[in-house]
Amino acid sequence: MTHSHNHTACVQVALTNAAQLCAERGVQLTPIRQQVLELIWANHHAVKAYDLLERIKPLQSAAKPATIYRALDFLMEQGFIHRVESLNAFIGCTDLRTVHEQLLLICKQCQDVEERQANAVMQSLADELKEAGFTAHHKAIEIHGICQNCQQ
């Protein structure tokens, strides 16, 4: 994704959808929340909370950790971003309109994170959970390695 794509369009779509969903849901995409979302969408890397804090300071000089964490909490509740558990970091969700479980492919080389629906994986996981008698509330499926673009 770092490699050749129209990223402006990515950002545009993400922000437009977020704004519309907020309107539909009667929740507020305040300036801080929108700025955090934009900063997360600066690229396809997972971003750390304290990096966001540094980057938002020119815009919000009063920003403190809580400023960022509250915005992140909101954006996660709304499904606009995902937390990458194995990196303590965050990425923009590329699939806002679908109820889905995310499979995250995390490239060690370019740092990009790709989100995939992976329906077959989710189906066999559902089967496995049924067999185990386990009721799932949240799934974190994170694969670290080297993405297609980074392998010559």
Partner DNA sequence: TAATGATATGTTATATTGTAACATATAGAA
Partner DNA sequence: TTCTATATGTTACAATATAACATATCATTA
Site residues, a copy of itself (CB under 8 A): 85-86, 103, 105, 107-108, 114, 116, 118, 120-121, 123-125, 127-129, 132-148, 151
CA 114 to chain CA mean position, Å? 10
* Closest by CA position to 144, among listed 96, 92, 107, 89: 107
86 lies in the binding site for DNA (CB under 7 A): no
Q: Give the total of residues touching DNA (CB under 7 A).
A: 22
The whole-angstrom separation of Cα 57 and Cα 119 is 40
67 lies in the binding site for DNA (CB under 7 A): yes
Q: Please, what is the minimum distance in Å from the beta carbon of residue 13 to a copy of itself?
A: 21
**What CA–CA distances, in Å, run from 64 to 56, 98, 130?**
10, 33, 43
The whole-angstrom separation of Cα 85 and Cα 90 is 9
Q: Which is nearer to DNA, 28 or 123 (CB)?
A: 28
111 lies in the binding site for DNA (CB under 7 A): no
Residues in contact with DNA by the rule CB under 7 A: 27-28, 30-33, 48-51, 60, 62-67, 69-71, 74, 88
